[in-house]
Amino acid sequence: MTEQSSAKIYLAKERGVNETNVMRSCKTFNSGNYFNEHKAAFGNLCLLNDDTLGAGEAIKMYIEEDGYIVFLPVAGGIVYNDSTGYKAAIIAGEAQIKLTSPGTVIEIENPYDKPVNYLQIRFKPVATSSADYSEITEFNINNCKNRLIPLTSPNTGLPFTLSIAKLEGRADIVYQPDDKYGGIYAYVIEGAFEVQYRLLHERDGLALWNIGSNVEAEALSNDAILLIAEVGL
């Protein structure tokens, strides 16, 4: 008999949307002026925004609490600049993870002459204090098809892990969680998947807990891309 974990699906069409003449932000969880009683944070995963920033535009955001922020460009790239003096260019095929403190002001700029799309993901610390952390990870999903690529380094003390995979149609992967009774969040960047026996389409998400086993994912379309986060509950 197949073991079934506890699960909740977050459909792309049910995300909150904030749109201006500069950017469009699709929000999986409550943030800013978007609130839905069914879209509370999943463990220490508190934000997953799918953002599109217009050509040559820039936005600023004010950080209100400690947290790890991940910027993962999907199409194009961005320039990250914050009030601590840190600046970096991040392009598709890279992910930046950085611990930010309350009061920090972040500016995200699109240096291109066409819109760019990126994911902004935030995790709350699980300790009362967290060491400063900043890392840009490079990865090539086209050269490493049909296998998981870790985006977080081992033994860093981060309260989460991130992995990404690009699969050919009907290819499958198995994710082995560090804590089989913790939390897993799977997010479809492109294509369609069956994850732990649940059907997910592009930009859908799936939260899993009380897993008790490995997590299985099968691509239902060619060149499908899946992001997996293991989170603290």
**Are 49 and 17 spatial neighbours (Cβ–Cβ below 8 Å)?**
no
Secondary structure (3-state) at 188: strand
Domains in the chain: ranges and CATH: 6-231 (2.60.120.10)
Query: What single-letter DSSP state applies at residue 42?
Result: B
How high is the pLDDT of residue 2?
46
Look up the pTM and report it.
Answer: 0.95
9 contact partners, CB below 8 Å, separation of at least 6: 198, 200, 204, 205, 206, 207
Query: Is pLDDT of 127 > 80?
Result: no
Which of the pair, 231 or 128, is modelled with greater confidence?
231
Per cent of the chain over pLDDT 90 is 87
**Are 79 and 53 spatial neighbours (Cβ–Cβ below 8 Å)?**
no
pLDDT digits (tens, 9 = 90+) for 28-37: 999 988 999 9
* Average pLDDT, integer, range 202-211: 96
How high is the pLDDT of residue 128?
62
* Average pLDDT, integer, range 149-165: 92
How high is the pLDDT of residue 156?
84
How high is the pLDDT of residue 192?
98
pLDDT digits (tens, 9 = 90+) for 9-26: 999 999 999 999 999 999
How high is the pLDDT of residue 1?
36
- Strands, DSSP E only, in 101-159? 105-109, 116-123, 134-138, 149-150
18 C-beta neighbours (distance < 10 Å), count: 15
